[in-house]
Amino acid sequence: MVFIRTGRGGRASQQREVNKTIILNAFLRCRNISRTEIAKRFNLSKSTVTRLVSNLISEGMIVEIEPYNIKKIGRKAILLGLNPNYKSVLAIKVGVTHTLMAKIDFAMNIKNIKSFFTPKNPQDFLDKVEEYTREIFPEGLKNTHAVGVGIPGIVDNTFKNVVVAPNLNWKNLPLGDMISERFKKVFSVDIPVKMDNEANMAVVAEGMLGSKIEFNDVNIVYIFIGEGVGTGLILEGKLYRGKANTAGEFGHMTVGRDGIKCKCGNLGCWERYASLGSDLAKRAGFDLENEKASILDEKALKLYVDELSVGVINIVNGLNPDVIILGGPLIKSDTKEIWEIIRKELKKIIEEKSITSDAGKVRIELTSFLEYPAELVGAGIWAFWDIFEGPVLSTV
């Protein structure tokens, strides 16, 4: 099992804090679990678990899920879980076409989800955020821990500024402070706003809460396919950010030296061929504007997967991951048939082109989050991250 670290490292200062982090992460990952099971699975002594759990209960983070069953089921252990009422966060997934906002509670339940067309003017965007926040939190924001914002672009190391979001035409935009200031003014609250690249958020959601991760997976690649193509990377159990927080921009790897011009300014970037806005993807049946997909032309779909595979095989040969997870608006429950074709074609090409047959055994999976996108769930986890990661592994 991976305990994903989203920050820049850090050292365990106290074993006690490490154990607290392990226990909170265990609850996040396993949902409802007994004290005995935590001790067994995470190799902690029973007394340590009992002590830490009772501290977490008194802090209000953990609750007993079935306390009234004790008599009925005799000696069976009591299940514990994260307390949904402890705190909540506002999660925002900024999309190139649509933006999603929701309230996410401490047990990771998504509530009051809202969607709107993304205004490209930042002031108009802030107005929308304010308007929908009022609807999502009619009770006010007093019990709101933080705001997590997933950006389709690059965010700087403070997690407050958008360096560039090419498809929205946003550059050097202090969006984090703009949201904080607006909230201070209109809601009279001082709430931290944490932004990150949306693919980073998605890979954390898949790694922490997704159903496609196996116990020993430590190298996980999430590929977001939409108007652009972005990837989130968990390498050796840690979110990989790179020096300037730009790692994972595989969408802009050059796949054709003299290829199509990209919004980033280069020629022949992979996303110009693999995005759902490409001519081939449109012919195949992807309708980005309405976030719908159906098979219009199966031959075009296979040709599109061939373009997609160029980048995927580079990722397989370059990173040798355990699993590659695909997400984005192409992934809807009514597109199962499309997904099966994509997976089959990709598997075939990977088997042919991977550097060794072992490397070619990488699993290709569909995102676990079909109802709500992984990016939104990840924005919620990110907003809570200082609690789950604790002081041990700081986020900046």
What is the closest distance, in whole angstroms, from the C-beta atom of residue 251 to Zn ion in the complex?
A: 7
Tell me whether residue 97 or residue 266 sits nearer to Zn ion (CB atom): 266
Tell me whether residue 67 or residue 256 sits nearer to Zn ion (CB atom): 256
Please answer whether residues 279 and 260 qualify as being in contact, where contact means their C-beta atoms are separated by less than 8 angstroms: no
What is the closest distance, in whole angstroms, from the C-beta atom of residue 197 to Zn ion in the complex?
A: 15
Within positions 345 to 374, which residues make up the interface with Zn ion, using CB under 5 A? Answer: none
What is the closest distance, in whole angstroms, from the C-beta atom of residue 261 to Zn ion in the complex?
A: 9
Tell me whether residue 83 or residue 275 sits nearer to Zn ion (CB atom): 275
Tell me whether residue 207 or residue 226 sits nearer to Zn ion (CB atom): 226
Within positions 242 to 271, which residues make up the interface with Zn ion, using CB under 5 A? Answer: 252, 262, 264, 266, 269
Say how far apart CA 215 and CA 206 lie, in whole Å.
13
What is the closest distance, in whole angstroms, from the C-beta atom of residue 96 to Zn ion in the complex?
A: 14
Total of residues contacting Zn ion (CB under 5 A) = 5
What is the closest distance, in whole angstroms, from the C-beta atom of residue 266 to Zn ion in the complex?
A: 5
Tell me whether residue 1 or residue 253 sits nearer to Zn ion (CB atom): 253
Lay out the site mask for Zn ion across 315-344 (x = CB under 5 A, - = otherwise): ------------------------------
Structure tokens at 349: 């090409």
Tell me whether residue 230 or residue 329 sits nearer to Zn ion (CB atom): 230
What is the closest distance, in whole angstroms, from the C-beta atom of residue 286 to Zn ion in the complex?
A: 20
Tell me whether residue 35 or residue 252 sits nearer to Zn ion (CB atom): 252
What is the closest distance, in whole angstroms, from the C-beta atom of residue 264 to Zn ion in the complex?
A: 3
Within positions 268 to 307, which residues make up the interface with Zn ion, using CB under 5 A? Answer: 269
What is the closest distance, in whole angstroms, from the C-beta atom of residue 279 to Zn ion in the complex?
A: 17
What is the closest distance, in whole angstroms, from the C-beta atom of residue 239 to Zn ion in the complex?
A: 22
Structure tokens at 174: 């202090």
Q: What 3 state SS string does the chain have?
A: CCCCECCCCCCCCCHHHHHHHHHHHHHHHHCCEEHHHHHHHCCCCHHHHHHHHHHHHHHCCEEECCHHHCCCCCCCCCEEEECCCCCEEEEEEECCCEEEEEEEECCCCEEEEEEEECCCCHHHHHHHHHHHHHHHCCCCCCCEEEEEEEECCEECCCCCCEEEECCCCEEEECHHHHHHHHHHHHHCCCCCEEEEEHHHHHHHHHHHHCCCCCCCCCCEEEEEECCCEEEEEEECCEECCCCCCCCCCHHHCECCCCCCECCCCCECEHHHHHCCCCHHHHHHCEECCCCEECCCCHHHHHHHHHHHHHHHHHHHHHHCCCEEEEECCCCCHHHHHHHHHHHHHHHHHHHHHCCCCCHHHCEEEECCCCCCCHHHHHHHHHHHHHHHHCCCCCCC
Report the chain's C-alpha Rg in angstroms: 22
Say how far apart CA 116 and CA 377 lie, in whole Å.
17
Q: Which residues bind Zn ion (CB under 5 A)?
A: 252, 262, 264, 266, 269
